[in-house]
Amino acid sequence: MTYGLSQAGIEVLGGIDIDSACKETYEKNNPNSQFILADVTELKEKKLQNILKLKKNDDTLILVGCSPCQYWSIIRTDKTKSSKSKNLLIEFKRFVDYFLPGYILVENVPGILSHKSTSGLESFVASLEKNNYKVQYDIVNMNDYGVPQSRRRFSLLATRLHDKPVFPVPNKNNKPTVKEFLGEMHGFKKINHSNQDSTIFNHSTAKLSEKNEKRLKKTAHNGGSWLDWADDVELKRLRYRGNGFVDNYGRMSWDKPAPTITTKFISISNGRFAHPEEDRGLSIREGATLQTFPKNYIFPNTSLTISAKIIGNAVPPLFAKRLAETIIKAHNHG
């Protein structure tokens, strides 16, 4: 989000995260923005004000909340760990009420809308409207905003400076696909699984087990799935129990958007994350590119798992830029 806003010309003063693993990546790519390592549930409004020298009721101030509310995700996983962060929107509301900025931007999982009462969204919007903010929110597919993946997210924009809400306009006639971003013509040379790239390009891939390598060799190029090798006894068992996800172990298609790039995109068993042709999963740089990070964006962590987590959890910079351009246009032209 910081990088995308900055690319549009917005001065991002700082970003807050509880995960220290994000610090080096954030600072190397956003040298003019301050990384604040903090638990937002314990961070006080006055302290943030002093750290970033913020003003209350500042028409040019944008408060951005990208709380990782996996608790409200539709993915059926154990919610025990994510329950600790399920009320982050409510925590964000504290800062909104204190600063009353000119603009508010929220990006989150779609489930926050379907659970709008318990997630805090309902009371959050009501509070904004009570403070004379014009609010617009929706579930958007970022493929409609130039991102080459089918990525549905909840987005909200609010302002107290205008008579009507502001929101980016989608372009449903231009849906970028995998082949417009990946492949040799875009600088991605052919590699094997377990490739180690120590350069900034970071074209590194996870190692496949012998079993998964054999499975992938049987998977049809350009969109094939595990149904191509359904004679595998283990997968037959899963299929008949109704637990098999067709996308798991599947290949991406050149002529379609990529699936949602998650924190597990380097693993072929966690989604349709296999290369369209090569017998491997996505590299760190390929996942980042599908998230619209530029090729000179640095992921200094040597751990593939940590880098994939940072990439998968990110707001695609191109979408963040679109949000910023919408705000700038509204602010300059009323």
Residues involved in catalysis? 69
Alpha helix (H) residue ranges in the chain: 2-7, 23-29, 45-52, 88-99, 111-114, 121-130, 210-218, 233-241, 284-290, 304-313, 317-333
Cβ of 117: how many Cβ atoms within 10 Å?
Answer: 8
Q: What is the DSSP string of 174-227?
A: ----GGGTSSGGGT-----TT----STT----PPPPHHHHHHHHHSPTTT--GG
CA pair distance 235, 29, nearest whole angstrom:
43
Q: Which two tokens stand for residue 283?
A: 């590299």
Residue with the two structure tokens 């790239």: 197
- CA angle, 79 then 85 then 91, to 5°: 150
Bridge partners (DSSP) of residue 106 are 65, 156
- Which amino acid, residue 55? K
CA pair distance 255, 67, nearest whole angstrom:
32
Cβ of 191: how many Cβ atoms within 10 Å?
Answer: 17
Q: Which two tokens stand for residue 33?
A: 């923005």
CA pair distance 229, 212, nearest whole angstrom:
11
Residues 6 or more apart whose CB falls under 8 angstroms from that of 327 comprise: 10, 62, 103, 105, 157, 159, 166
